[in-house]
Amino acid sequence: MTQKRTVLTGRHFMQGDIACAEGAIAAGCRFFAGYPITPATEIAERMARRLPEVGGVYVQMEDELGSMAAVIGASYAGVKSMTATSGPGFSLMQENIGLAVMTEAPCVIVNVMRGGPSTGQPTKPGQQDVMQAKWGSHGDYEIIALAPSSVQEMFDLTIEAFNLSEIYRVPVIVLADEIVGHMWERVTIPPENAIKLIDRKKPQVSPEKYAPFMPSKDLVPTMAPFGAGYHFYATGLTHDETGHPQTDSAKAQQKLVQRLCDKIRKNSEKITKVSANMLEDAEVVVVAYGTTSRSAMSAVREAREKGIKAGLLRLITLWPFPDKEVSKLAKKVHAIVVPEMNYGQIVREVERVAKETPVTFMPKLGEDPHRPSEILDAIRSLS
């Protein structure tokens, strides 16, 4: 049955990139435009095979600039759409990620992070694009980024990414790393009816009354698809609620940019997710995400065995940054350790929120991820 091919319900031994593709299909994604790049190519390969089975479209574009533009085009045509890439391609996509932000096109971008800058180390893991995910395109904006730490989460968080993009009309970035992308693990895919899917709000007014960028109470406008008779106009220029360009009005610029940011900022508590591990009585806490959080989890367990009150706050949402959760934690612990596969990115956010609580940063560049023993040593020295 075609139903059976839509959601591969059951237990599987699966690669992270493949689980991501399956999550997308389960989420209702029916359009993929991309360009091959290590270590995200397997997502494209899986989508090329699977999308036609479910009536969807795979197109391999000439570059990542075109891929991201095509994804927005498909989104505006009313189809859930995505792309997948790694650092160099992510850099090229920034231009049109900005366009997706400005014209509020729901879409998902998967970045399976490798070592940078530039071509860097294509087959090695990295977490060097965390700040780029937030700030990579020009201008002020807010975005959502999720960091899976297992193959199961490559599936689950890809669905979550689609749902969030539909709710907030914002591009959502799945910020994976080479290890979760290439790792094989057990995945449980739930029955189709147990997967909660959310679709963008459609206009409830006649085409004559439709203002494409008139926000509802939640600051998010309804979205008509192309071809439905609404005859609306969308532009990357600063625009008013009708979509008409307002290139000279300070008021229009302020109103639009504030709303684009506020629809995320004011809902950040609804959006952000963390995983709390042994935090109740913890004195030394590791804040980590993605693959790094797995080493951190081992280190925390070992520390507990040695009688050290250690804990792990695993960040699932990186953007908007979970200020509230980190701040609450910082107030009650003695020290925070932040291991990252970069030279200092999310640690800046932790330091900003932690205020007086000392934060120890553990960078890692160009090697395998942190060993649990390294993180354990750091925990010990602080306890």
Partner 1 sequence: MSEDLHPLERFLRGGMIPHIWCEGCGNGIILNCFVRALEEIEIDVNKVVVVSGIGCIGRLSGYTNTDSYHTTHGRAIAFATGAKLANPELKVVVISGDGDLFAIGGNHFIHAARRNVDIQVICANNFNYGMTGGQYGPTTPLDAWTTTTPYGNIERPFNLVHLAAASGAVYVARWTTLHVRRLTESIKKVLQKEGFSFIEVVTPCPEIYGRRNKMATGIEMMNWFKTASEIRNYSDPADAEITPEKIVVGEFIDVEKPTYDSLLRKMINQIQEKIRGEK
Minimum CB distance to partner 1, residue 250 (Å): 19
Nearer to partner 1, 60 or 123 (CB): 60
Nearer to partner 1, 1 or 194 (CB): 1
Minimum CB distance to partner 1, residue 246 (Å): 12
Determine the distance from the C-alpha atom of residue 53 to the mean position of all C-alpha atoms in its chain, rounded to a whole number. Answer: 26
Kind and range of the H or E element at 284?
strand 284-288
Nearer to partner 1, 22 or 349 (CB): 22
Nearer to partner 1, 21 or 299 (CB): 21
Burial 181-192 (b: 16+ CB within 10 A, else e): bbbebebebeee
Nearer to partner 1, 62 or 280 (CB): 62
Whether the Cβ atoms of residue 38 and residue 88 lie closer than 8 Å to each other: no
Give dist(CA 369, CA 112) in Å, integer: 15
Give dist(CA 381, CA 360) in Å, integer: 11
Nearer to partner 1, 155 or 232 (CB): 232
Nearer to partner 1, 30 or 200 (CB): 30
Strand 31-34 relative to strand 81-85: parallel, antiparallel, unpaired? parallel
Q: The tokens of 280 are what?
A: 């109740």
Q: What separation in angstroms does the CA of 232 have from each of 105, 206, 210, 272?
A: 14, 12, 8, 33
Minimum CB distance to partner 1, residue 140 (Å): 17
Minimum CB distance to partner 1, residue 165 (Å): 15
Minimum CB distance to partner 1, residue 281 (Å): 52
Reduced to 3 states (helix: H, G, I; strand: E, B; else coil), residue 100 is: helix
Determine the distance from the C-alpha atom of residue 143 to the mean position of all C-alpha atoms in its chain, rounded to a whole number. Answer: 8
Give dist(CA 343, CA 367) in Å, integer: 13
Minimum CB distance to partner 1, residue 47 (Å): 13
Q: The tokens of 226 are what?
A: 């192309």
Minimum CB distance to partner 1, residue 96 (Å): 6
Half-sphere exposure of 195 (CA within 13 A, CB side): 26
Binding site for partner 1 (CB under 8 A): 1-2, 4-5, 30-31, 33, 52-53, 55-57, 59, 61-63, 65-67, 69-79, 81, 95-96, 98-99, 103, 225-237, 242, 244-245
